[in-house]
A and B are shown apart, each in its own frame.
Chain A
């Protein structure tokens, strides 16, 4: 990673943390913020997919599908942004799916190491359990705005921490001639 990339990563992580702390302090505003972020992320995904088509996928056999996907995502994002409010259940279901998937992967990873007779990472196990608990909370409190905000913020803070850690990881290797 370049030094500029490291600085960019750290700055982005700090902004993420600040936004998460603000949303936790003001859950009512925070929920609107979460809904807006999710809507705009759809828009962004659409734009990214279209750029991806023109820069890469147009060379690929069957690559036009990426163009159609990009246009559909962009359209869905524009529709979501135009709505007055997004139902709480939709936001919480989105969070449920992402946490449940990550949690299952972490637990399977630990199981694979254990089955092979190797020591397993307690950090990975803890992360997996936290993710599964978060997923369960999304379902239990499916009508609570606060739950959506807290779980979303926990995800943002976790992402910021991993971003900072990866910025300090040494990534060079020695080459030999």
Chain B
């Protein structure tokens, strides 16, 4: 998903869930922050580097293919953008193949539930925003894994787009190119994707790189054979899945506000979204690369809310101006803690499932861990709980 959904649509979901305009915009802002908080960003404001929730393209290209770098990449991408759907999924193959297969992202997995519950325990708007990002991406990024893997993430040349028309859908083969500068061209079915260098550990086969931006475009519908799918085709219907994502966010945000007692996966608040359903579906289906203006208009029409452009400078200033003892009380400080907690929860779950692709995790009760995560441990201690 892109800024249009993570920022503006998330703010709209928060408004429907009952948050006030200011909190709603903040929820959207920190949802989008998850796509912005790279190590380069964190080093610029002298924040803990292990709180990185994304990696810039060149950070990725700079990282090696050694196990430590692979684990680092997996922790970031599996925790925040490709949440695994089933860490115990059964499949034939070697241990390494199974480990990679089990990181395939999908909605309504156990970790999705844990993500929202964790945000509830954190109790901050920044944690809510981060959780909404993770939740929404489980829909957009399903069928891909947040770890470099050719055998899971590769896409062949069979991918076809389903173009809606008066007589139903027509199939059109997608033409991929590898240009760094050219824009996607939905009108002619030409999209950019990453180059296949036939390496299992290449960052080119991380996540949905081989499918280009198609999973991130709300209007896209396409059919293809996933590398892991044993030659079976899958249909990805983004407008439908994005709508589910939206309704699940409304439900999750109601839970975070305390309006719903328990959070369960597989529940979507269609009822609350229904009055806005036609307009939302219209935005989602419109063939455009950037839907920001439509979402802004939607917010203005319904709530007279006009969020500013996504700009982190004020939050950065608040963080850098705060003394060390008060940094955790700033918005970015709270986001950093939420990011460390999410990364810790997901990486720990992967590790405890017997999968070493995200590296080793240590129980906080045993006092182990690296510096940045000791910060999380201290925070949990101050909060009077180890969970």
In the assembled complex, how far is the CB of residue B339 from the closest CB belonging to chain A, in whole angstroms?
12
**How many pairs, one residue from A and one from B, have CB atoms within 8 Å of each other in the complex?**
143
Chain B residues, CB < 8 A from A60: 150-151, 154, 227-228
- Given contacts A56-B96, A61-B227, A66-B198, whether A169 and B376 have CB atoms under 8 Å apart is no
5 shortest A-B CB distances, which residue pairs? A175-B348, A118-B44, A175-B361, A174-B369, A109-B58
Q: Does A105 contact B (CB under 8 A)?
A: yes
The answer to the question of B277 belonging to the interface, with a C-beta cut-off of 8 Å to chain A, is no
Task: Return A101 CB to nearest CB of chain B, in Å.
Answer: 10
Q: How many angstroms between the C-alpha atoms of A169 and B374 in the bound complex?
A: 16
Considering the chains assembled together, what is the distance between the CA atoms of A112 and B61 in angstroms? 12
Which residues of the other chain, A, contact B349 by a CB distance below 8 angstroms?
A: 175
Cβ-neighbour of B62 out of A1, A63, A106 (below 8 A):
A106
Main secondary structure of the interface of B (DSSP, over half): helix
With known contacts A57-B151, A109-B62, A112-B56, A118–B227 Cβ distance under 8 A: no
Write 20 A-B pairs (CB below 8 A) sorted by A numbering: A1-B67, A57-B150, A60-B150, A60-B154, A61-B230, A105-B58, A112-B40, A117-B44, A118-B40, A118-B41, A171-B71, A173-B361, A173-B362, A174-B368, A174-B369, A174-B373, A175-B352, A175-B362, A176-B348, A177-B387
Tell whether, in the assembled complex, residue A105 and residue B62 are in contact, meaning their CB atoms are under 8 Å apart: yes
Report whether B344 and A162 are in contact in the complex, using a CB–CB cutoff of 8 Å.
Answer: no
- Contact (Cβ within 8 A) A55 B94: yes
Write out the residue numbers on chain B whose beta carbons fall within 8 Å of the beta carbon of A63. Answer: 151
B380 neighbours in A (Cβ, 8 Å): 176
Contact B359 A173 (CB under 8 A): yes
Q: Which residues of A sit under 8 angstroms from B226, Cβ to Cβ?
A: 61
Q: Which of B44, B93, B362, B387 lies in contact with A172, CB distance below 8 A?
A: B362
How distant is the Cα of A8 from the Cα of B151 in the complex, in angstroms?
A: 28
Q: For residue B43, which residues in chain A have a CB less than 8 angstroms away from its CB?
A: 118-119
B59 interface residue (CB < 8 Å to A)? yes
Q: Is the CB of B151 within 8 A of A59?
A: yes
Chain A contact patch, size range: 35 or more
Partner of B96, one of A55, A66, A124, A170: A55
Give the contacting residue for B387; candidates A66, A113, A176; CB below 8 A: A176
State whether the Cβ of B282 lies closer than 8 Å to any Cβ in chain A: no
A87 proximity list for chain B (CB < 8 A): none
CB contact under 8 A between A56 and B93, given known A61-B156, A171-B68: yes
Please, which residues of chain B bring their CB within 8 A of the CB of A172?
A: 359-362, 368-370
What residues of A have a CB within 8 angstroms of the CB of B189 in the complex?
A: none
Q: For A124, list chain B residues within 8 Å (CB).
A: 62
Distance of A116 Cα from B386 Cα, bound (Å): 38
